[in-house]
Amino acid sequence: MTADKKLDNFLLGTAVFAAIALILGCFLPFYVGARTADKTMKRANQWMACGLSWLGVFYMWLAWSVFFQAQLYPYLTIMPTIEVGGSD
C-alpha cells in the first residue's frame, strides 16, 4: 500500500468520525432537552449532551487512529542474538 493510499484511508476514517460527531452534536441536545423533566436544568443538560457526545466520539476516534496506525506501521520484530563467549 502506498503512502498516499494510507493517508487517504486515514483521512476517510477521520471524516467518518467527524460526521458522526457532527450529527450527534446537533441532534442529541434536542433529544436531551425534550426528555429533561426539570425545566431549570434543560439548558445545562443540552450543553452537557453536546460536549460529552463530542468527547466520546473523540476518544473513539483516538482509539481507532491508534489501532489503524498500528496495523499500517507495525513494530519491527526484534530478533535476539545469542553470543557465545570464549572460555576465560
Do 46 and 27 meet the contact criterion of CB atoms below 8 Å apart? no
What does the pLDDT read at residue 86? 66
61 inside domain:
yes
Please give the average per-residue pLDDT across 43-62, as a whole number. Answer: 95
Region for residue 26 given its phi and psi (left: phi exceeds 0; alpha: psi -120 to 50; beta: otherwise)? alpha
- CA 14, CA 82: separation in Å to the nearest integer? 44
42 inside domain:
yes
88 inside domain:
no
11 inside domain:
no
28 inside domain:
yes
60 inside domain:
yes
Examine the pLDDT at 22 and tell me if it is beyond 70: yes
24 inside domain:
yes
**How many domains are there within the chain?**
1
**Cα Rg, the chain, nearest whole Å:** 24
Please give the average per-residue pLDDT across 59-64, as a whole number. Answer: 96
Helices 42-72 and 3-35: angle between axes, nearest 10 degrees: 160
Owning domain of residue 46: 17-71
55 inside domain:
yes
pTM above 0.85, yes or no: no
What does the pLDDT read at residue 77? 79
